[in-house]
Amino acid sequence: MILTNGKIVTADKAFSVGEAVAIRDDKIIAVGTSSQVARFGGPGVKIVDLKGSTVIPGLIDAHLHPESASVSELDGEIPDLHTEGELLGWLKDQVAISRKNEWIIHPKLFFTRLKELRMPSISELDRIAPRNPVFLNGSFGGMINTAAMKLSGITGNTGHHGLTRDKKTGFFTGIIRASAFPLLKLPPDKKLTLQEKLDALHNMLKRYNRMGITSVCSGEGDFDNYRMYRELYNKNKLTVRVFQNIILGKGSGKPVALLCDELKSCGYATGYGDEWARIGSIKIMLDGGILTGTAYMNEPWGERACKVFGIDDKSYRGIINYTYDEVLSIVTMASEMNWKFAAHCTGSGSVDMLLDVFNEVNRIKPLKERRFAIIHGNFFSRDAIRRMSELGIYADMQPAWFYKDADALRLILGKRRTGSFHPYRSLIDAGVVINGGSDHMVKWDPDMSVNPFNPFLGMWAMITRTTSRENVIMKEQAVTREEALKIYTINNAYASFEEEIKGTIEPGKLADMVVLSDDILTCPANRIINIQSEMTLVGGKIVYDSGKFLQA
């Protein structure tokens, strides 16, 4: 195939631009002017006239959850709620169609994304749903009503640190932390056959293709997840390349030493596989989340946060799931066994703790080229950025979080503390590699998902520093268009140790490319968010086509 008469943005070291690109089998064989590449034409060669359109390297999402996302709306669309009124209205509608004692569950609701910045009170939930148990799940915290407590056997005598009580009355407020989720007698998850899971996963990957995504890092899973992708490949249905992270210890309750022993005998390590599916990083969940007030901060959350999240401890800094020594044991083991290591850290305190561990491990075996990563991070102080640069630690970030959450966090934490929230410019200037991802896990729409997986939305947010409420926050931390494109292409290829085979449009690399509906380098900035893929190619095969260019 030859793509000709276009603008080929290679994203190579010189950020050179060509007019045409030639593909043989699954590789790029030439990039240059249309006349230079024309010599590769001949019988059986498909010629695609780009009519001046821009082509970029295939986009890579550095962190998402295709497995959970793929099945999240099999039984119906999950509502996209923006106000408390919309939430209460949805609850009323659910009560009207539900039987007595039937659970009403929103699987991923972050109340800090509601306009009012508050969760309904337990009395409001009880008034709307007196006979139906309600669970509003926010991953690291949530809200339940009285019916949910009764059905789950939670009484006034139940003692659990994950259940919040009113300081004056001693009654439960309905606010629940993730540690108490196991107390809830929730209905069992719908059982799906392996084929149903594979079909759902294949369909989700095709949705990613429509957005120009050609590779992903599956943020957490196990070796069964990896084998699912191998099965899709064997069935010729894998249309996205996968770097599969392996979560260590989530929900297992096993001692860290035992988890490390199990990992040593698993037979896998980072990089196992091929260019279609590889084993990724070992990952741990170090703290909670910024949207539930459970991220571990380097100073107390503060008075405003206590009010928003129902916290009655002024010294509260969030939650931390591992001790320093436990993290040190895991990271040391990962380093010794040549695993890439990454940790879910959402607060400044967990970032600092992890960097302390990395620094100690670095004394034994240098980490500079190991590409260890801090997943999310969110808050990076000047000192943290300096240490990341010195140690070669990558910042695995989700720009849609800035888009969705910067306004709320500024109200909750204040201007000073949000000054270190998603400081892209400072990270790049210090030489820290930023990886761009979405953390997509619920809903199928690229823009309306709880964490949108539209990469152009992510790049637009980094370039303009504009939030969902149309505020521009810390404009000085903006990146250039070229930098944003590198973050979603070659930087993410570096993160999976695959920069020699993908991430740029250069001869010898895999033919993963996207033909765009607009020129991301020159179009008005407000149009970047609306860019779409007209054609997505993975390994030279067209996996999505809008119909604009494909010829018979």
The 10s digit of each residue's pLDDT in 439-476 is 999 999 999 999 999 999 999 999 999 999 999 999 99
**CA–CA dist 385, 391 (Å, integer):** 10
pLDDT in tens, 348-380: 999 999 999 999 999 999 999 899 999 999 999
Rg (CA), the chain: 24
SS3 call for 156: coil
- pTM of structure: 0.95
Residue 551 confidence (pLDDT) above 80: no
pLDDT at residue 172 tops 50:
yes
List pLDDT tens digits, range 477-517.
Answer: 999 999 999 999 999 999 999 999 999 999 999 999 999 99
**Do residues 208 and 61 lie in contact, with contact meaning Cβ atoms separated by under 8 Å?**
yes
Mean pLDDT of the chain: 94
pLDDT score of 438 more than 90: yes
The burial class, CB within 10 Å (0-12 / 13-18 / 19+), for 26 is middle
| The pLDDT of residue 226 | 95
492: Cβ–Cβ under 8 A, 6 or more apart, which residues?
60, 61, 62, 215, 217, 435, 436, 437, 503
In this prediction, residue 118 carries a pLDDT of: 87
Length of the chain: 552
For residue 250, pLDDT over 70 is answered with no
**CB 501: neighbour CB atoms within 10 A?**
15
**Cβ pair 109, 125 in contact under 8 A:** no
Percent residues over pLDDT 70 in the chain: 99
Phi, then psi, of 515 in degrees rounded to 5:
-95, 125
- Arithmetic mean of pLDDT, 177-205: 94
pLDDT band at 267 (very low <50, low <70, confident <90, very high): confident
User: What is the CA 464 to chain-centroid distance, rounded?
Assistant: 20
pLDDT at residue 56 in the model: 98
Query: Could you give all domains of the chain from N- to C-terminal order, each with its CATH number?
Result: 2-58+509-545 (2.30.40.10), 62-68+192-495 (3.20.20.140), 76-183 (3.10.310.70)
Q: How far apart are CA 216 and CA 439, in angstroms?
A: 11
206 or 177: whose pLDDT is higher?
A: 206
Q: How far apart are CA 90 and CA 79, in angstroms?
A: 8
